[in-house]
C-alpha cells in the first residue's frame, strides 16, 4: 500500500514538472511562426511589424538575468537603483538590436530544429535561418528559474556567437577605463 502511495506521489510530481518543460517547444514554435507571419504581412508598416514582433517575443526573455550576466562581477558592486537603470538600458539596447536585425529579413525560411536538454536546468531551442547562400544557426538558450520553476531565455546564440557573452566582454573592457555612468550613457 505504501508503495502505491509513493508511486502516486512521484508520478504527480513528474507530470507537474514535465508540463512546464514541454511547453517550450510548442510555445517557441508558435512564437517563431507568429513573428514570421507578422514580418510577411504586407499591410503592416515597418514600425507596426517591429512593435508586434517584440510583443510576441517579450515575455520569455529574462532581461534581468541577461543584464546581470552581461555585467559580470561588477553587478554586485552596483546599487539597487543602478541595477534597475542598467537593466532598463540593456533591455532597450537588446530590443533595438533585435529590431535592426528584423529589418534585414527578406522572406528567408526558418526551420525549427529540436529542443535539447543539455543540463537539468538548461534547454536549448535551435532554429535555422535559410539565407541566400547558406544556413545560419540561431539557438535560444533557456534556464530554469529556481523560484517559480519556469523556463526563460537568458541568451541567444547567433551563428556560434553568444550575444550575452559578447556584451559581457565589451562591458568588462569598457569599465576598465571608463565609469559605469559613461557605460549607461553609451547604451
Partner 1 sequence: MKYVFFSLILTLLLFQGCTAKNELPLQANLHEKTLNTDQTAIHTNTIKNCTTCKDNTNEFEDEFGDETENIIDPLSGYNRVMTSFNDKAIVYVLNPVSEAYATILPQPLRIGISNFLHNIQFPIRLTNNILQGKFQNSSDELERFIVNSTVGLGGLMDPAETYMNIPAHDEDFGQTLGHYGIGSGFHIVLPFFGPSNVRDLVGLSVDGYASPTVYIENIEKYKIPNNIDQSIGILSAEFVNKNSLHLGEYESLKKDAIDLYPFLRDTYEQKRVTQIAE
Q: Which of 48, 59, 92, 113 binds partner 1 (CB under 8 A)?
A: 59
> Minimum CB separation from partner 1 for residue 88, in Å?
10
Question: Which positions from 32 through 51 interact with partner 1, judged by CB under 8 A?
Answer: 34
Question: Which positions from 100 through 139 interact with partner 1, judged by CB under 8 A?
Answer: 100-101, 103-104, 121, 131-135
Q: Which of 80, 107, 114, 120 binds partner 1 (CB under 8 A)?
A: 80
Q: Which of 108, 112, 145, 184 binds partner 1 (CB under 8 A)?
A: 145
Identify which of 173, 28, 169 has the alpha carbon closest to the alpha carbon of residue 111. Answer: 28
Q: Which is nearer to partner 1, 116 or 159 (CB)?
A: 159
> Minimum CB separation from partner 1 for residue 171, in Å?
8
Q: Which of 32, 152, 153, 180 binds partner 1 (CB under 8 A)?
A: 152
DSSP string, the chain: -HHHHHHHHHHHHHHHHHHHHHTHHHHHHHHHHHHHHHHH-TTS-HHHHHHHHHHHHHTTB-HHHHHHHHHGGGGGGS-HHHHHHHHHHHHHHHHHHHHHHHTT--S-EEEEEEEEEEETTEEEEEEEEE-SSSEEEEEEEEEE-TTT--EEEEEEEETTEEHHHHHHHHHHHHHHHS-HHHHHHH-
Q: Which is nearer to partner 1, 83 or 127 (CB)?
A: 83
Neighbours of 61 (CB within 10 A): 20
> Minimum CB separation from partner 1 for residue 120, in Å?
11
Question: Do residues 27 and 60 touch, judged by C-beta distance below 8 A?
Answer: yes
Q: Is position 81 an interface residue for partner 1 (rule: CB under 8 A)? A: no
> Minimum CB separation from partner 1 for residue 176, in Å?
8
Q: Which stretch binds partner 1 (CB under 8 A): 41-49, 95-103, 107-115?
A: 95-103
Q: Which is nearer to partner 1, 42 or 147 (CB)?
A: 147
Amino acid at each position: 500500500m505504501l508503495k502505491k502511495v509513493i508511486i502516486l506521489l512521484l508520478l504527480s510530481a513528474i507530470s507537474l514538472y514535465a508540463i512546464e518543460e514541454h511547453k517550450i517547444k510548442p510555445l517557441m514554435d508558435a512564437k517563431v511562426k507568429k513573428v514570421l507571419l507578422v514580418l510577411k504581412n504586407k499591410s503592416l508598416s515597418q514600425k507596426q511589424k517591429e512593435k508586434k514582433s517584440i510583443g510576441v517575443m517579450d515575455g520569455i526573455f529574462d532581461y534581468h538575468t541577461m543584464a546581470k550576466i552581461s555585467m559580470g562581477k561588477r553587478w554586485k558592486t552596483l546599487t539597487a537603483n543602478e541595477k534597475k537603470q542598467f537593466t532598463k538600458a540593456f533591455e532597450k539596447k537588446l530590443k533595438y538590436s533585435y529590431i535592426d536585425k528584423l529589418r534585414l529579413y527578406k522572406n528567408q525560411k526558418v526551420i525549427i530544429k529540436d529542443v535539447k536538454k543539455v543540463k537539468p536546468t538548461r534547454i536549448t531551442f535551435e532554429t535555422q535561418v535559410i539565407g541566400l547562400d547558406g544556413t545560419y544557426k540561431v539557438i535560444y538558450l533557456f534556464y530554469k528559474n529556481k523560484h517559480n520553476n519556469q523556463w526563460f531565455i537568458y541568451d541567444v546564440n547567433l551563428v556560434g556567437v553568444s550575444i550575452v557573452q559578447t556584451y559581457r566582454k565589451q562591458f568588462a573592457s569598457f569599465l576598465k577605463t571608463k565609469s559605469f555612468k559613461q557605460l549607461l550613457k553609451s547604451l
